[in-house]
Structure 1
Amino acid sequence: MSVLNNFLGSLARTILTPMSRARLPQTKGTIPLEGLSAPVEILRDRWGIPHIYADTPPDAFFAQGFVHAQDRLWQMELNRRTACGKLSEIFGEIALDTDRTARTFGFDRLGRADWEILSDESRALALAYTAGVNAFLTHPKTKLPVEFRLLGLKPEPWIAEDSMAFTRVMVWQLSHAWQGEIIRAEIAEKVGIEHAAELEIHYPEGNPLTLPKGIEFNTLDPDGTLRKIPGPFLDRGKGSNAWAVSPARSVTGNAVLCNDMHLAISLPGLWYQVHIHAADELHVTGVSIPGIPTVLVGHNDHIAWGITLAYTDAEDLFIEQIDFSNNRYLFEETWQAAEVLEEEIQVKGRDKSHIEKVFITQHGPIISDVVGYPAQHVAVQSMALRSFTTLDGWIGLNRARGWDDFVNACRLIEAPQLNIAYADVENNIGYWVTGKVPVRAKGDGSVPVPGWTGQYEWIGEVPFQEMPHTLNPERGYFVTCNHKIVPDDYPHLLGSNWMNGYRARRLSELIESVDKLELDDHQKFHMDVKSIPGLELVGRLKDIVDPDPDVQLALKWLREWDGFLTPESVGGMFYQIVRYTLVRNILEPGLGPELSLRYMGAGFHPLLMNANEFYGQDTVVLFRLLDTPDSWWIQAAGGRHTVIIESLKQAVSWLREKLGDDPSTWTWGRVHQVNFEHPLGLQKPLDQVFNRGPFPIGGDTDTPCQTAMLPNDPYNNKAWSPTFRQIVDMGDLTRSVTVHPPGQSGQVASSHYDDLVDPWLKGQYFPMLWTREQVDAESDDKLVLKPRE
Structure 2
Amino acid sequence: MAIKVSAVRWLTFVGLTVVGVLVLAVAVTWIWLRGSLPLLEGELETGKLNSPATIYRDTQGIPLIESEDRSSIAFALGFLHAQERFFQMDLLRRNSAGELSELFGAVALEHDREIRLHQFRQRAERNIKEMSPTHRRILKKYVQGVNSGLQQLGRLPWEYALLRRQPEPWTAADSMLTIFSMYLTLQSHNGNHERRDTALAKLLPADLYQFFFPAGGSWDAPLIGDARPPVTLPSTPIAALLKDDTTIAYREMTSDDQVFGSNNWVVGGALSGHGSAILADDMHLSLGVPNIWYRAGWQIPGTDRHMRGATLPGGPLVVVGSNGLVAWGFTNTMGDWGDLIPLEVNEAGDRYRTPDGWRAFIVDREEIVIKGEKPETLLVHKTIWGPVVAEDYSGTPLAYRWVAHDLQGGNINLLQMEGVETAEEALDLGPLLGIPHQNLVVGDSRGNIGWTVGGAIPRRVGLDGSRSVSWADGTAFWDGYLAAEEQPRLYNPPSHRIWTANARTMDGPFLQLMGDQGYALGARQQQIRDDLFARESFDEGDMLDIQLDQRAIFLHRWQQQLLTLLKNDKRYEAVLEQIENWGAQASADSVGYRIVRNYRLKFLELTTAPLLTHMQRRQADFAFGSLKRQLEYAAWEMQTMEPAHLLNPDFESWRALKLAALDSVLTRMAEGGRPLAEQTWGVQNTAEIRHPLGRAVEVVNWFTAMPADQLSGDSHLPRVQSSRSGASQRMVVAPGREQEAIFHMATGQSAHPLSPFFANGHRDWVEGNPSPLKEQPARYTLLLK
Question: How does the TM-score come out when normalised to structure 1?
Answer: 0.86
User: 1:724-778, CA deviations, whole angstroms, 9 ceiling, x for partnerless residues?
Assistant: 11111235222112111110001122122222221110002322226xxxx5xx2
User: 1:431-471, CA deviations, whole angstroms, 9 ceiling, x for partnerless residues?
Assistant: 22122333444444333333544443334545432333222
User: Would you say 1:586 and 2:607 are equivalent positions?
Assistant: yes
Range with greater deviation from structure 2 (376-385 or 687-696): 687-696
| 2:685 aligned partner | 672
Determine the C-alpha separation between the residues in 2 that align with 1:461 and 1:624: 41
**Counterpart contact for 1:64–1:293, Cα < 8 Å:** yes
Match of 1:736 among 741, 755, 759: 741
- Structure 1 601/579 Cα, relative in aligned 2: closer, same or farther at 3 Å? farther
Determine the C-alpha separation between the residues in 2 that align with 1:157 and 1:30: 23
**Counterpart contact for 1:18–1:749, Cα < 8 Å:** no
| 1:653 aligned partner | 667
User: 1:386-420, CA deviations, whole angstroms, 9 ceiling, x for partnerless residues?
Assistant: 12265342011122112343133212115422111
Determine the C-alpha separation between the residues in 2 that align with 1:334 and 1:628: 54
Which consecutive unaligned segments of at least 5 residues does structure 1 have?
Answer: 1-5, 215-235, 604-611, 709-716
- Report the alpha carbon displacement of residue 252 of structure 1 after superposing the two structures with TM: 4.2
Range with greater deviation from structure 2 (632-641 or 696-705): 632-641
> Where does 1:386-401 land on structure 2 (aligned, <5 Å)?
386-388=406-408, 390-401=410-421
- Report the alpha carbon displacement of residue 650 of structure 1 after superposing the two structures with TM: 2.0
Three-state SS of the structure 2 residue aligned to 1:122 is helix
User: Would you say 1:116 and 2:129 are equivalent positions?
Assistant: yes
Determine the C-alpha separation between the residues in 2 that align with 1:9 and 1:96: 37
**Counterpart contact for 1:700–1:707, Cα < 8 Å:** yes
Match of 1:684 among 682, 698, 715: 698
| 2:63 aligned partner | 50
Three-state SS of the structure 1 residue aligned to 2:555 is helix
**Counterpart contact for 2:606–2:661, Cα < 8 Å:** yes
- Structure 1 468/501 Cα, relative in aligned 2: closer, same or farther at 3 Å? same
Range with greater deviation from structure 2 (723-732 or 452-461): 452-461
| 1:434 aligned partner | 454
Determine the C-alpha separation between the residues in 1 that align with 2:23 and 2:196: 46
| 2:779 aligned partner | 780
| 1:168 aligned partner | 180
- Structure 1 393/9 Cα, relative in aligned 2: closer, same or farther at 3 Å? farther
Range with greater deviation from structure 2 (537-546 or 335-344): 537-546
**Counterpart contact for 2:341–2:469, Cα < 8 Å:** yes
Match of 1:516 among 515, 534, 537: 537
- Structure 1 111/692 Cα, relative in aligned 2: closer, same or farther at 3 Å? same
- Report the alpha carbon displacement of residue 211 of structure 1 after superposing the two structures with TM: 2.8
| 2:380 aligned partner | 358
Determine the C-alpha separation between the residues in 1 that align with 2:460 and 2:644: 33
- Structure 1 633/129 Cα, relative in aligned 2: closer, same or farther at 3 Å? farther
Match of 1:78 among 87, 91, 102: 91
Range with greater deviation from structure 2 (173-182 or 354-363): 173-182
| 2:372 aligned partner | 349
| 1:288 aligned partner | 311
| 2:425 aligned partner | 405
| 1:154 aligned partner | 166
Determine the C-alpha separation between the residues in 1 that align with 2:490 and 2:772: 29
Determine the C-alpha separation between the residues in 1 that align with 2:30 and 2:345: 55
**Counterpart contact for 1:659–1:666, Cα < 8 Å:** no
> Where does 1:726-765 land on structure 2 (aligned, <5 Å)?
726-765=731-770
- Report the alpha carbon displacement of residue 129 of structure 1 after superposing the two structures with TM: 0.3
> Where does 1:331-730 land on structure 2 (aligned, <5 Å)?
331-332=354-355, 334-350=357-373, 352-368=374-390, 375-388=395-408, 390-459=410-479, 461-488=481-508, 490=510, 492-496=512-516, 497-541=518-562, 543-544=564-565, 548-592=569-613, 613-614=626-627, 616-630=629-643, 632-636=645-649, 638=651, 639-660=653-674, 662-682=675-695, 683-708=697-722, 717-718=723-724, 720-730=725-735
Determine the C-alpha separation between the residues in 2 that align with 1:696 and 1:7: 36
- Report the alpha carbon displacement of residue 599 of structure 1 after superposing the two structures with TM: 14
**Counterpart contact for 1:84–1:108, Cα < 8 Å:** yes
- Structure 1 323/290 Cα, relative in aligned 2: closer, same or farther at 3 Å? farther
- Structure 1 536/690 Cα, relative in aligned 2: closer, same or farther at 3 Å? same
Match of 1:308 among 315, 331, 334: 331
**Counterpart contact for 1:34–1:135, Cα < 8 Å:** no
**One-letter code of the match for 1:749?**
L
Determine the C-alpha separation between the residues in 2 that align with 1:249 and 1:542: 41
Which consecutive unaligned segments of at least 5 residues does structure 2 have?
Answer: 1-18, 228-257
- Structure 1 522/410 Cα, relative in aligned 2: closer, same or farther at 3 Å? same
- Report the alpha carbon displacement of residue 513 of structure 1 after superposing the two structures with TM: 2.4
User: 1:211-239, CA deviations, whole angstroms, 9 ceiling, x for partnerless residues?
Assistant: 3469xxxxxxxxxxxxxxxxxxxxx9732
**One-letter code of the match for 1:494?**
M
- Structure 1 189/246 Cα, relative in aligned 2: closer, same or farther at 3 Å? closer
**One-letter code of the match for 1:265?**
L
| 1:263 aligned partner | 285
Determine the C-alpha separation between the residues in 1 that align with 2:622 and 2:535: 35
Determine the C-alpha separation between the residues in 2 that align with 1:44 and 1:503: 36
**One-letter code of the match for 2:769?**
Q
Determine the C-alpha separation between the residues in 1 that align with 2:614 and 2:164: 42
Q: Percent identity?
A: 25
Determine the C-alpha separation between the residues in 2 that align with 1:120 and 1:197: 51
**Counterpart contact for 2:219–2:523, Cα < 8 Å:** no
Three-state SS of the structure 2 residue aligned to 1:680 is helix
Three-state SS of the structure 1 residue aligned to 2:260 is coil
User: 1:24-50, CA deviations, whole angstroms, 9 ceiling, x for partnerless residues?
Assistant: 021111010121022211011111011
Three-state SS of the structure 2 residue aligned to 1:750 is coil
Three-state SS of the structure 1 residue aligned to 2:606 is helix
Larger radius of gyration: 2
**Counterpart contact for 1:393–1:410, Cα < 8 Å:** no
User: Would you say 1:39 and 2:52 are equivalent positions?
Assistant: yes
**Counterpart contact for 2:185–2:260, Cα < 8 Å:** no
**One-letter code of the match for 1:474?**
P
**Counterpart contact for 2:427–2:450, Cα < 8 Å:** no
| 2:340 aligned partner | 317
- Report the alpha carbon displacement of residue 510 of structure 1 after superposing the two structures with TM: 2.0
**One-letter code of the match for 1:504?**
Q
**One-letter code of the match for 1:375?**
G
- Structure 1 414/148 Cα, relative in aligned 2: closer, same or farther at 3 Å? closer
User: Would you say 1:66 and 2:79 are equivalent positions?
Assistant: yes
**Counterpart contact for 1:582–1:647, Cα < 8 Å:** yes
- Report the alpha carbon displacement of residue 60 of structure 1 after superposing the two structures with TM: 0.6
- Structure 1 207/213 Cα, relative in aligned 2: closer, same or farther at 3 Å? closer
Number of equivalenced pairs: 731
RMSD: 3.1
Determine the C-alpha separation between the residues in 1 that align with 2:259 and 2:486: 20
- Structure 1 112/516 Cα, relative in aligned 2: closer, same or farther at 3 Å? same
> Where does 1:169-248 land on structure 2 (aligned, <5 Å)?
169-176=181-188, 178-187=191-200, 191-205=204-218, 207-212=220-225, 238-248=260-270
Determine the C-alpha separation between the residues in 1 that align with 2:650 and 2:137: 62
- Report the alpha carbon displacement of residue 273 of structure 1 after superposing the two structures with TM: 0.7
- Structure 1 671/10 Cα, relative in aligned 2: closer, same or farther at 3 Å? farther
**Counterpart contact for 2:427–2:451, Cα < 8 Å:** no
- Structure 1 643/491 Cα, relative in aligned 2: closer, same or farther at 3 Å? closer
- Structure 1 689/586 Cα, relative in aligned 2: closer, same or farther at 3 Å? same
- Structure with the largest fraction of strand: 1
Range with greater deviation from structure 2 (488-497 or 117-126): 488-497
**Counterpart contact for 1:119–1:392, Cα < 8 Å:** no
**Counterpart contact for 2:591–2:678, Cα < 8 Å:** yes
